[in-house]
């Protein structure tokens, strides 16, 4: 029963991992069309491809503290907005500088998702399922990579001798597919409960108990108390560190 009750928030959150893997790999199939249509040099193409990893690395440096303060679900919503903005902007780009910046924004989405989704999944998971649920993010990344490669291969087989990335209207098919995934991610998240740890930190104890109960925890009152004690120890340790000037 616990596995069924927690399925919806797990799948919704893990969609961020899917977009992570998909966004990282799908650009490989678009590299040649981008180079030809925008007249990119090899160096410029390398910068465009590297923009997302650069954005991800820079975002990870501050996203842990930021998502802890604003909440896990708002953090995932920001990631979804970054994904959508990146895909729309990239589709409309006509020059290397703008394409680089939009890809950089996509990297911000990747960085946010890589931090907030695993944290959210472990915080909502009952202790007996924490290991399995914590691995869902990485399975979703692998699935996103696999689907991107399969999608590119199918397009290449469907149109022999042509570019592997075809257009639908004004945008490439892979951009439409990626945008749809990000839109789905953004629409699902408002219906996902906030992390119980965030709720406890904000003093919303009854909501935290309800979330734990929905996620299959047999004694939500005891678990809320454990989270309170954990947060109190963390605050005390931080104060002691500040006192000695570290």
Greater confidence, 178 or 3? 178
Greater confidence, 161 or 23? 23
- Does the pLDDT value for residue 239 go beyond 50? no
The answer to whether residues 90 and 109 touch, using CB atoms and an 8 Å cutoff, is no
- Does the pLDDT value for residue 233 go beyond 60? no
pLDDT tens profile 170-214 = 666 656 665 666 676 677 666 777 777 788 888 888 888 887 777
Q: For the residues 85-108, what does the mean pLDDT come to? A: 85
The answer to whether residues 184 and 169 touch, using CB atoms and an 8 Å cutoff, is no
Q: Which pair of tokens denotes residue 113?
A: 């998702």
Query: What pLDDT, on a 0 to 100 scale, did the predictor assign at position 105?
Result: 92
pLDDT tens profile 114-154 = 888 888 888 887 777 777 887 888 898 998 888 888 877 77
Query: What pLDDT, on a 0 to 100 scale, did the predictor assign at position 242?
Result: 42
* Confidence band of 241 (pLDDT split at 50, 70, 90): very low
Alpha helices in the chain (DSSP H): 2-5, 7-38, 42-70, 72-92, 96-124, 130-134, 136-158, 173-188, 196-201, 205-214, 220-243
- Does the pLDDT value for residue 86 go beyond 80? yes
CA 22 to chain centroid, in Å, comes to 11
Greater confidence, 1 or 206? 206
pLDDT tens profile 21-61 = 888 887 777 777 777 777 888 888 888 888 989 999 999 88
Q: With the C-alpha atoms ordered 77, 49, 104, 178, is the resulting torsion angle positive or negative? A: negative
Which residue do the tokens 């992390």 mark?
195
- Does the pLDDT value for residue 88 go beyond 50? yes
Greater confidence, 222 or 57? 57
């Amino acid at each position: 029963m616990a596995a069924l009750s927690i399925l919806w928030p797990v799948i919704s959150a893990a969609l961020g991992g899917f977009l992570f893997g998909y966004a990282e790999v799908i650009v490989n199939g678009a590299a040649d069309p981008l180079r030809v249509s925008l007249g990119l040099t090899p160096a410029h193409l390398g910068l465009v491809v590297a923009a997302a990893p650069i954005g991800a690395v820079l975002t990870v440096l501050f996203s842990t503290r930021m998502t802890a303060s604003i909440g896990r679900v708002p953090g995932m919503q920001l990631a979804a907005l970054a994904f959508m903005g990146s895909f729309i902007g990239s589709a409309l780009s006509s020059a290397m500088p703008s394409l680089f910046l939009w890809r950089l924004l996509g990297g911000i989405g990747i960085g946010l998702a890589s931090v907030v989704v695993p944290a959210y999944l472990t915080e909502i998971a009952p202790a007996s399922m924490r290991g399995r649920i914590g691995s869902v993010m990485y399975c979703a990344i692998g699935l996103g990579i696999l689907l991107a490669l399969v999608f590119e291969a199918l397009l290449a087989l469907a149109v022999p001798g042509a570019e592997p990335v075809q257009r639908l209207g004004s945008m490439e098919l892979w951009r439409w597919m990626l945008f749809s995934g990000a839109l789905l991610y953004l629409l699902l998240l408002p219906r996902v409960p906030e992390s119980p740890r965030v709720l406890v930190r904000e003093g919303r104890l009854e909501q935290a108990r309800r979330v734990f109960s929905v996620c299959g925890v047999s004694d939500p009152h005891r678990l809320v108390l454990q989270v309170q004690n954990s947060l109190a120890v963390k605050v005390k340790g931080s104060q002691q560190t500040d006192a000695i000037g570290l």
